[in-house]
């Protein structure tokens, strides 16, 4: 509804006994109730049998919904930002970069596909406002020169490569929020 580019996605029940034939493989199966806490909460699958096994595991763990995302081929870009500030940082991810579960390796080494970082910042800031997530990070896939889709959006990420600058801007955001709240 807000024209933020993202992969084809749909939410399903984990109680399914079969997988729709119109699912596009390969795809990602993600838990639909929360962020990934275990490696098994986000899985790359290439066929329906793998998807069903993941759904069965989710159901056993009382995870009632899953999100299916199409897999996008391209350069994986990690980004960080703080709403209401000029702070926005990004970098091309690579298989040997810091990784929570190592899934970045699936797309391989970035080729450096060109994209407009200010456009990515615009989309990320819009997602921040729409989702109510003022301190954010995420992942985007550059699928072709100039083409991007946000595949993940998180609140309070690690800011692994830009902690000092992020910290200053988080403090600025909090200060501005307090002033606004109390009309100081």
pLDDT tens digit sequence for 129-152: 999 999 999 999 999 888 999 999
pLDDT tens digit sequence for 153-174: 998 888 988 999 999 999 999 9
How many C-beta atoms lie closer than 10 Å to residue 93's C-beta?
Answer: 21
**Beta-bridge partners for 137:** 80, 154
Q: State the DSSP H helix or E strand holding residue 48, giving kind and residue range, or none if neither.
A: helix 48-60
C-alpha atoms less than 13 angstroms from C-alpha of 64 in its C-beta half-sphere: 0
The residues, any chain, with a CB within 8 Å of residue 162's CB and separated by 6 or more, are: 80, 89
DSSP 60-75: HTT--EEEEEE---SE
């Amino acid at each position: 509804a807000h024209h933020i580019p993202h992969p084809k996605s749909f939410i399903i029940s984990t109680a399914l006994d079969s997988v729709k034939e119109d699912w596009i493989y390969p795809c990602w199966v993600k838990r639909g109730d929360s962020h990934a806490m275990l490696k098994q909460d986000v899985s790359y699958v290439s066929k329906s049998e793998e998807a069903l096994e993941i759904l069965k595991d989710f159901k056993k763990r009382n995870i009632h919904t899953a999100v299916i995302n199409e897999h996008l081929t391209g350069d994986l870009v990690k980004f960080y930002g703080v709403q209401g500030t000029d702070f926005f940082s990004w970098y091309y991810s690579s298989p040997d970069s810091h990784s929570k579960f190592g899934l970045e390796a699936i797309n391989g080494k970035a080729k450096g596909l060109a994209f407009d970082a200010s456009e990515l910042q615009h989309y990320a800031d819009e997602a921040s406002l729409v989702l109510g997530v003022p301190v954010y990070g995420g992942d985007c896939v550059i699928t072709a020169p100039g083409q991007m889709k946000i595949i993940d959006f998180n609140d309070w990420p690690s800011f692994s490569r830009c902690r000092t600058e992020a910290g200053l801007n988080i403090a600025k955001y909090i200060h501005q929020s307090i002033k606004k709240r109390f009309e100081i």
